[in-house]
Structure 1
Amino acid sequence: MTLTQLEIFSLVAELQGFTSAAHRLGISQSAVSHAIKALEQELGVALFRRHQTLVETSDIGQQLLGRARAMLGLANTLQQEAADARGMKRGTLRIGSFGPTSSTYLLPRILSRFRQAHPGIEVHVDEGPDRQVIHWLDERRVDIGFVVLEQERLDTYPLFEDQMVALLPTDHPLADREQVTLKDLCGAPFALTEAGSSELVTRLFSDARLVPNVRYRCSQLLSTLETVSRGDAVSLVAQASLPATPDPRYVQRPLLPAVPRKVGLAVLDRRQSSPATLAFIRIAQSLAL
């Protein structure tokens, strides 16, 4: 068993295909097939179920996938520590990011400073909903992720705090108020943004024993903004996620009582984090975002 075989196994599982994995790695499909066949023969189990156009991990393959990713993560940490001894001139950092707050507001400034300090580190960024970033951390698909705090299972580092605000059409009756309650928002059609802080929004209503009238489930904040701007719904979003120049067709109003939202970085285990990951954390905290 080699790390190359484990890397190929992990990538085939992620992309659900031998051809796509071969393209990503820059090798032939036959080389991918040979590596998987050799690994299956050594382990004595079938790692994948083959379909016409896709492959999916078998039950035992899914179980072993987590172990494989853990081993690859530790190998990457070893390589990073060796690179650190040489001045961190080489290595890879995989980052999970969610929504405009991290992808647009936080990440660019951190990455700019990180690349200046460590130009030899190759950076990969995956974007998805906040719950997806946590899933990627659990699967070890990313080394570090932006998350909404608190996350008790993870080692976290607070970076930034803003407020949740009500988003209302300009001509909506609630737009005349200085503050809006969660109960107020239950009286109109509601647009829920699946990306970003959807888990926090859902939990806020649940804790208050309220049920919003969800008519729209938007995969991106831009869709939510357009839905509210048309006058079709109200919403609840994080203030930092809103564009710097808002559309005059909608307004934002603070919640009563105020609801802060904390955003930070998270890793599975700081003790196993690579030098590049720890350097990224230090730079992010130094910027006092």
Structure 2
Amino acid sequence: MTLTQLEIFSLVAELRGFTSAAHRLGISQSAVSHAIKALEQELGVELFRRHQTLVELSDIGEQLLGRARGMLGLANTLQQEAADARGMKRGTLRIGSFGPTASNHLLPTILSHFRRDYPGIEVHVDEGPDRQVIQWLDQRRVDVGFVVLEQERFDTVALLEDQLVALIPVDHALAASTAVPLHALCDDPFILTEAGSLELVTRLFDQAQLQPKVRYRCTQLLSTLEAVSRGDGLSIVAQGSLPTYAHPRYLARPLSPSVRRRIGLAVLDRRQASPATLAFIALAQTLYPDPATHR
């Protein structure tokens, strides 16, 4: 069993195809097939179920994938620690990010400083909803991820704190309010943004035993802003995700009572994190000190 075989196994599982994995790795499909076949023969199990156009993990393949990614993560940490002894001139850092708050506000500044300080570290960024970033962390597909806190099963550091706000068309009756109670958002059509605040917003209504009239589910914040601007409905988003410029067709109003949100970085186990991961976290903490100390 080799690390190359485990890497190919992980990538085939991620992309659900031998051809896609071969293209990503820059090798032939036959080389990918041979590596998987050799690994299956050594382990004595079938890792994938083959179909005409795609492959899917078998039950035992699903179970072993986490172990394989754990071994690859440890190998990467070993290589990173060796690189650290040489001045961290080489290595790879995989980051999971979500939504405008992390991807547009926090990440660019941190990455700019990180690339300046560690130009030899290759950085990969995957973007998806916050719940997907958590899944990537569990699957060891990323080394560190931006998450909505709290996340008790991870090692985390807080970077930013903001609040949830109601988005209201400028000509709506609620536009005159300085703060908006949650129940007032249940009379109109509601636009749910399936990004960084989805879980928090959903939990907020559930805890209040309220049921919004969800008309739209938008995967992108821009779609939510446009829908509110057209008067298609109301929404709740995080203040930190909004554009810095004022928009003429919608208003943001705090909720009453206010609802805070914290964004931070998470790793599975800080003791096993690579030097590049730890350096990224340390730099992020320098640039964005714990918001709890600045209230």
Q: TM-score, normalised by structure 2?
A: 0.97
Which deviates the most, 90-99 or 205-214? 205-214
1:153 aligns with 2:153: yes
Instruction: Specify the alignment match of 1:86 in structure 2.
Output: 86
Where structure 2 has 5 or more consecutive residues not aligned to the other structure, the ranges are 290-295
For residues 84-105 of structure 1, give each alpha carbon's deviation from its aligned partner in whole angstroms, at most 9, with x where no partner exists: 0000000000000000000000
Instruction: Specify the alignment match of 1:187 in structure 2.
Output: 187
Instruction: Specify the alignment match of 1:144 in structure 2.
Output: 144
Task: Give the superposition deviation at 1:247.
Answer: 2.4
For residues 29-69 of structure 1, give each alpha carbon's deviation from its aligned partner in whole angstroms, at most 9, with x where no partner exists: 11001000000111111111111111111111111000000
Instruction: Specify the alignment match of 1:43 in structure 2.
Output: 43
1:124 aligns with 2:124: yes
Instruction: Specify the alignment match of 2:172 in structure 1.
Output: 172
Task: Give the superposition deviation at 1:163.
Answer: 1.0
Matches within 5 A, 1:13-92: 13-92=13-92
Instruction: Specify the alignment match of 2:219 in structure 1.
Output: 219
Task: Give the superposition deviation at 1:22.
Answer: 0.6
1:242 aligns with 2:242: yes
Letter in 2 for 1:229: S
Instruction: Specify the alignment match of 1:276 in structure 2.
Output: 276
3-state DSSP class of the match of 1:158?
A: strand
Where structure 1 has 5 or more consecutive residues not aligned to the other structure, the ranges are none
Task: Give the superposition deviation at 1:115.
Answer: 0.4
Distance 1:169 1:221 in 2: 15
Distance 1:63 1:150 in 2: 27
Instruction: Specify the alignment match of 1:260 in structure 2.
Output: 260
Letter in 2 for 1:27: I
Instruction: Specify the alignment match of 2:228 in structure 1.
Output: 228
For residues 228-247 of structure 1, give each alpha carbon's deviation from its aligned partner in whole angstroms, at most 9, with x where no partner exists: 11101100000110111232
3-state DSSP class of the match of 2:284?
A: helix
Count of aligned positions: 289
3-state DSSP class of the match of 1:255?
A: strand
Distance 2:61 2:239 in 1: 42
Distance 1:248 1:199 in 2: 28
Task: Give the superposition deviation at 1:210.
Answer: 1.1
For residues 150-204 of structure 1, give each alpha carbon's deviation from its aligned partner in whole angstroms, at most 9, with x where no partner exists: 1111100000001110000111111111110111111111000011110011011
Runs of at least 4 residues off by over 4 Å: none
Task: Give the superposition deviation at 1:288.
Answer: 2.1
The share of aligned pairs that are identical, in percent, is 78
Question: Over aligned residue pairs, what C-alpha RMSD do you find?
Answer: 0.7
Task: Give the superposition deviation at 1:16.
Answer: 0.5
3-state DSSP class of the match of 2:56?
A: strand
Task: Give the superposition deviation at 1:2.
Answer: 0.3
